Structure 1
């Protein structure tokens, strides 16, 4: 259900946060079904429960999940899949820009490429 890259420089809690947010955005999680408990998910992933708790706190803070005492954590009912997809797309764009810049591609080249794509000219 969740994929983590233990070799990534991205902290595990952020990876988990992004995984759950992405699953919510694409409708892979039923809003009526509780998310795994912190303890169960930590055990399943082989991580510290505090790591899972931190991801759940971030998700709750951002309105993606809500906790119901005695019942567990659930996806928020007012979650907008469209806005979540946009957020994911922007994150991918950010990652691509950072990667391009790390490879020495200039700001002008990046901007020109974006403008060409947005105007429908492709490359």
Structure 2
């Protein structure tokens, strides 16, 4: 379910957040379904439980999950809202990448051509 890429420069907790967001938005994790406990996911991934707790805190803050005292963490039910939040994050990231590309001298045409290529080839 969750795979960590140790070669990725993103912090592990951010990778966990992104993976859960995708699983929730795509409907793989259904509304009100329970997600693994901090301890069990930490053991499964062989990482510090504090890292999982940080990821869960971000997911809760962003509205992707909710906590039930004494029961665990569950997937939030408003899928449309979650998709919109994910899209907002995507477009903010895209904006930052485009700014970085512009700073490196990447032209608008190069960006548009690459996006077209990705969509045509289905390389996502």
Shorter-chain TM range is 0.7 to 0.9
Are the equivalent residues in 1 in contact too, given 2:38–2:49 (CA < 8 A)?
A: yes
Q: 1:58-97 alignment to 2 at 5 Å? A: 58-80=58-80, 81-87=82-88, 89-90=90-91, 93-94=94-95, 96-97=97-98
Aligned to 2:23: 23
Offset at 1:111? 7.6
1:110 and 2:108 correspond: yes
| RMSD (Å), alpha carbons | 3.0
Note the alpha carbon deviations across 1:82-110, whole angstroms, 9 max, x for none. 314523642662475366357x334xx23
Residue 28 of structure 2 aligns to a residue whose secondary structure is: coil
Q: Deviations over 1:32-79 (max 9, x none)?
A: 321000000011111100000000001111111000112211111124
Tell me the TM-score normalized by structure 1. 0.75
Runs of 4+ in structure 1 deviating by more than 4 angstroms, as ranges, are 111-114
2:32/2:76 contact within 8 Å kept:
no
